[in-house]
Structure 1
Amino acid sequence: MQEDKQRWNERYLDNPMPQNVSPLLEKYIAHAKVGQAADIACGTGRNTHYLADMGFLVDAIDISDYALERVKKSSTIKKIDTDLDKYNLTPNKYDLIVNINYLNRRLVSQMKEALRSGGVLVFETFIVAHGDFNLPTTNLDYLLRKNELLHSFIGLDVIYYEEKIDINLKGEKIKVASLVAKKA
């Protein structure tokens, strides 16, 4: 865990990170009932702060203590400093789960179980694209395959799904999969 914490702390120090709320979350927030939310791999809190401002009680979950220090102190935000390779989501707890720019396949089934009836999942992360854009090799454990995100959440009612080419903060072309789904 300590190696992961150090790696993520360095990543936040050395790389540009998005500062604005995820456009996907902003566009589809109206589908979620205000209540309890989880921001998985929340980073410095761009989505956490938005959710708190919208009236949610937010569990801001991340391994980077550097990032979590930048999440505002608030009675509506609970910071959880943990290794997501070991952390378990509480079943039937959340009205909204947000997972942006992070993939931990171990948590997929837990996310489905952690949503309350009527709960919404907003999930967006990267797809394998190295051969397409000459990007340096990355650990493929953290990249989706084509249609994997859609297949991972079978059983939820899909509100929106797309795989597209986007541009990251370094100006590089990337592939991204986006899903918004609701638990019946």
Structure 2
Amino acid sequence: MPTDAFRSEVSLTVNGSPYRLPLDHRTTVLDALREHLGLIGAKKGCDHGQCGACTVLVDGRRANSCLLLAVAHDGAEITTVEGLRGAADGEPHPLQQAFLERDAFQCGYCTPGQLCSAVGALAEAEAGAASHVTQPGAATGAPVTLTRDEIRERLSGNLCRCGAYPHIVEAVEDVIR
């Protein structure tokens, strides 16, 4: 069987720029970002979707990019940590600034995934998506107030081997105040 039978051209918009990539059908979004586009912010930690180091935003929702086949996301808009922006061009995203101010990282390996996950978690809470710890009486569809418990729960899929969790929660709290 010809090798072209196992490849397809995939269109992705990554950090606002369009790309057409001829990819093997087994290529994950993570590998497309790192190996084909040179965007190395998202990390390959466990390669099983358990650590969150590879978290990116896909069509505005956070996802473990190591579990996503690129061909299944043809036409998707992907935002990586490199694409997070502040209000002014060249300015860091407010979460990036808060992570710096709160020293919310140590080795930094998990930080890109933590940042993308936090951006997604803030958007989910604003849209009214409940988490496991959201109070049962909360109004459906109303923005969810992000308490420390909410923040911890929503970011629980992102592991930090250095244990910077308290500072990560504080950084997210700084942004929502």
Bin for the TM-score computed over the shorter chain: under 0.3
TM-score (norm 2): 0.26
Greater helix content: 2
Greater strand content: 1
Query: Between Structure 1 and Structure 2, whose CA radius of gyration is higher?
Result: 2
The higher-RCO structure (CA 8 Å, 6+ apart) is 2
TM-score (norm 1): 0.25
